[in-house]
Amino acid sequence: MKKRALISVFDKTGILEFAQFLNQKGVEIISTGGTYKFLKENGLSVIDVSEVTNFKEMLDGRVKTLHPNIHGGILAIRDNREHMDTIAKEGIETIDYVVVNLYPFFREVQTDKTFDEKIEFIDIGGPTMLRSAAKSFKDVTVICETEDYEKVMEEIENNGEVSFETKKRLAGKVFNLTSAYDAAISNFLLEEEYPKYLNVSYEKKFDLRYGENPHQSSAYYVSTTENGSMKDFVQLNGKELSFNNIRDMDIAWKVANEFDEIACCAVKHSTPCGVAVADDVFTAYKKAHDCDSVSIFGGIVAINREIDAKTAQELNKIFLEIVIAPAFTDEALEILKSKKNLRVIKCEVAKPQDKVEYVKVDGGILVQQTNQKIIDNMEVVTKKQPTEQELKDMELGMKVVKHVKSNAIVVVKDGAATGVGTGQTNRIWATQHALEHAKGDLDSLEGAVLASDAFFPFRDCVDEAAKYGIKALVQPGGSIRDKESIEAADEHGMTMVFTGIRHFKH
């Protein structure tokens, strides 16, 4: 029995060579629309699908392969006598190869096209043929990705046929693709934060050397339907990125882009260890570096403006894993590239794009809105009023504390986060850690602001801050003991502001 292949592809990469190979092996080629025209123009003997279905394409090509003469030829089980008798009676010939790739809905849904225009990129016939062929993989070789042409040709050339193992794997790839494709369409149409079924559509960008530790395997996936800074960055220099690198890049870039001002954020082990704003890039970096000149070593630095040569020279004075910015001058890039292992990342997508975030638990997944609000209302709750600089530092503190693991305390002075207390199991420990770190060799922290991600459950944090010379506090408020904290601040001659917004991060 003569073998047949049905070929209908949007992406025509490599299809001519593959079709020519099949043709040389005596396989008849059936094709549709643009693919038929392309193959015909390149000298191949091709059968138009309408000759098989005895029905012309209709509805602007929406209906062309949805026909028993096509799906009967794909789905018939070859060693099932009843199936074979049925298709023979109906004059249907078997189809042994199905080569289909889909309309680029993943790409088009991210464009500025209208809703109706995007709808037209929802492929119906393609997924239907792929799923039919994948179900019949024992008898039908199905290919949905151009990268698989070579493997199939190699097996046919060497063995005369495609192995069961390869056909099974190709069928699995079909359902992997169509499930992601359907998920993307579902999310596009539903536009619900929490639909009944959680369907996400991500494509592997590359394998990673390992996960958080060498014994853990890892890979990096990006959304097929949404843009984002960690999807669209460009690596300009340095060795390959790791699992931890990408996590830390994400945090550093998010913190730096909390600010409209020129800002720099240094991150170490998923925690901001230095954040500063300034009137120029060089000063912002220097201030962020000086927040914690020890922890920044081997860390990630993100700056939300173009990096110039002067700043690049300063960055090169210490060992850094990554420098990330929206742009680099030619001279700055040349300077940074002098360190061959330094990963230099260009990231033009400034503001975070994600609307929801996920946390995997054993057997389940938690989904929540991303934390996009900093302050509800700045309410001064003490007798003393904050100065203009204290208010600025309070806002900086809350923008940073939002990205610090709870319990989280950040000490800020003159536009720089000089002390970070993170991940402690009680707030007084986080307070002590941040204060001690910020103090360094100073006699006191006079003029500094202390920011907290959640309310003070007791007055002890206020009393501790007073010992270090802190005169301004900012916190969400909301404790049944708020009055005690306010009274303590008044006793110490401090100003305290409530924001109304808690920033737990676990």
Long-range pairs for 70-78 at CB < 8 Å and ≥24 separation? Answer: 70/6, 70/95, 70/129, 71/128, 71/129, 71/132, 73/4, 74/6, 74/98, 74/129, 74/132, 74/133, 74/136, 74/140, 75/132, 75/135, 75/136, 76/136, 76/139, 77/136, 77/138, 77/139, 78/138, 78/139
Which residue type occupies 183?
Answer: A
Structural tokens at position 368: 């929540």
CA-CA distance, 406 to 285, in Å (whole number)?
A: 26
Percent helix, strand and coil across the chain, each to the nearest 5: 40, 20, 40
Give the E-state strand segments of 188-316 in sequence order: 202-208, 218-223, 234-237, 262-268, 271-278, 300-303
448: left (phi over 0), alpha (psi -120 to 50) or beta: beta
What sign does the dihedral 112-114-115-119 (CA atoms) show?
A: negative
Among candidate residues 310, 304, 275, the one with its CA nearest the CA of residue 289: 275
Structural tokens at position 215: 């014994």
Positions annotated as catalytic residues are 135, 269
CA-CA distance, 85 to 140, in Å (whole number)?
A: 18
CA-CA distance, 378 to 391, in Å (whole number)?
A: 9
- Under 8 Å between Cβ of 311 and 325: no
Question: 278: which residues sit within 8 A by CB, 6+ positions away?
Answer: 261, 262, 264, 284, 287, 415
Cα–Cα–Cα angle for 95, 98, 101, rounded to 5 degrees? 155
Eight-state DSSP code of residue 63: B
Structural tokens at position 30: 């059936």
Query: Looking at the DSSP assignment, which residues form a beta bridge with residue 421?
Result: 409
Q: How far is CA 404 from CA 273, 274, 400, 419, in A?
A: 9, 11, 7, 12
Question: 170: which residues sit within 8 A by CB, 6+ positions away?
Answer: 134, 137, 141, 142, 143, 144, 148, 152
By DSSP bridging, strand 46-48 and strand 97-101 are unpaired
The backbone torsions φ and ψ at residue 138, rounded to the nearest 5 degrees and listed phi first, read: -60, -30
